[in-house]
Amino acid sequence: MKTFRWHMELLANCFNVLPLDVALKALSSGDVPPRAVCITFDDGYRSIHDFALPILREFGLPATVFVTTGTVDGGTMWNDTITEAIRRFPGKQLDLRDIGLGQYSVATVHERKHVVGEVTRHSKYLCPQERLSITGKLENLANAPLPNVMLSREMIFNLAQNGIEIGGHTISHPILTKVDNEQAREEIREGKQQLEAITRKSVRFFAYPNGKPKVDFDHHHVQMVKDAGYSAAFTTVIGPATASHDRFHLPRSRPWDTNPLMFSSRLLAWLAGKAI
């Protein structure tokens, strides 16, 4: 939380932080102010409401939250389920051979972290049904309730009422290239409709889950996003958004530095089109 606070303070003092809609209009008009940035969050963790929102309000900063609707009101992201279930597993040997994985020692914290990484990497590009099989198995083995760390409907509504833009991020956060077109279309369209029912506002922007073009989504999914009524969509390609970018292939950078000099230097480098 301390790191996030100085991140936001530095942005407020040294950069021009714009709402997404204002930034996109500025790109189209060629009137982007210097050092212009936008703030976005993915997935929909309740820490955005409980911790980030007061800091954003303190510094008067706009932001957008791309929400995965399947986790609202008590759900858990698949990767968090893996992490928390393995953390809570009561034994010292974890046997996952019946779901295509191995048998692991989890006697130490280091070993558990290693297994979390292994299972997460294995699961990431599986179809949602296969991922669900793995997370369900782990939940049963953990035999303990998992923490509720995602936004509720009331929190989402409150964020929207406090000037935070709510964007779409599908229902179950699938890798879109790993599901059939009908399911992908439903994930994109229904997620938008669910958020609009909660916020009572138009949901204008979308973020592709995982966000790598031609790997996590392709031109079919771009068309689905357009057909659903979104105005723009965001990838996880690092670099500055420019007037030449397709509005449904906009890049987003992720400066997670814990050092203020590196944080600001990386942002400035990215805005200049350079990578550090």
Q: Supply the DSSP string of 232-274, one letter for each residue.
A: EEE----S---TTS-TTSB-------SSHHHHHHHHHHHHTT-
> Which residue, among 139, 154, 194, has the nearest Cα to 170 in the 3D structure?
194
- 77-120 pLDDT per residue, tens: 999 999 999 999 999 999 999 888 999 999 999 999 999 999 99
More confident site: 130 or 188: 188
pLDDT-based confidence at 265, cuts 50/70/90? confident
CA dihedral (55, 207, 81, 7) positive or negative? negative
Location of structure tokens 């782990």:
138
Cα-Cα-Cα-Cα torsion 265, 267, 268, 270, nearest 10 degrees, comes to 120
Average pLDDT of span 164-175:
96
Average pLDDT of the chain to the nearest whole number: 94
How far does CA 57 lie from the centroid of its chain?
Answer: 21
What are residue 67's phi and psi, to 5 degrees? -105, 130
Give the whole-angstrom CA distance, residue 67 versus residue 191: 8
Task: State whether residue 206 is helix, strand or coil.
Answer: strand
8 A C-beta contact, residue 188 and residue 148:
no
Location of structure tokens 């070993």:
111
- 50-86 pLDDT per residue, tens: 999 999 999 999 999 999 999 999 889 999 999 999 9
Average pLDDT of span 151-169:
97
How would you label 180-218 residue by residue, b for 16+ Cβ within 10 Å and e otherwise? Answer: eeebbbebbbbbbebbeebbeeebbbbbbbbbebeebbe
Bridge partners, residue 37, by sequence = 17
Which helix or strand (DSSP H or E) is residue 133 part of? helix 128-142
Q: Is the pLDDT score of 273 beyond 80?
A: no
Pick from 147-151, 212-216, 235-239, 252-256: least confident? 252-256
By the 10 Å C-beta count (0-12 exposed, 13-18 middle, 19+ buried), 173 is classed as: buried
8 A C-beta contact, residue 44 and residue 72:
yes
This prediction has a pTM of 0.93
8 A C-beta contact, residue 273 and residue 240:
yes
The pLDDT of residue 16? 94
Q: Is the pLDDT score of 169 beyond 90?
A: yes
> Which residue, among 56, 62, 59, has the nearest Cα to 37 in the 3D structure?
62
The pLDDT of residue 276? 65
The pLDDT of residue 190? 98
Give the whole-angstrom CA distance, residue 138 versus residue 77: 13
- 174-232 pLDDT per residue, tens: 999 999 999 999 999 999 999 999 999 999 999 999 999 999 999 999 999 999 999 99
The pLDDT of residue 180? 95
The pLDDT of residue 99? 87
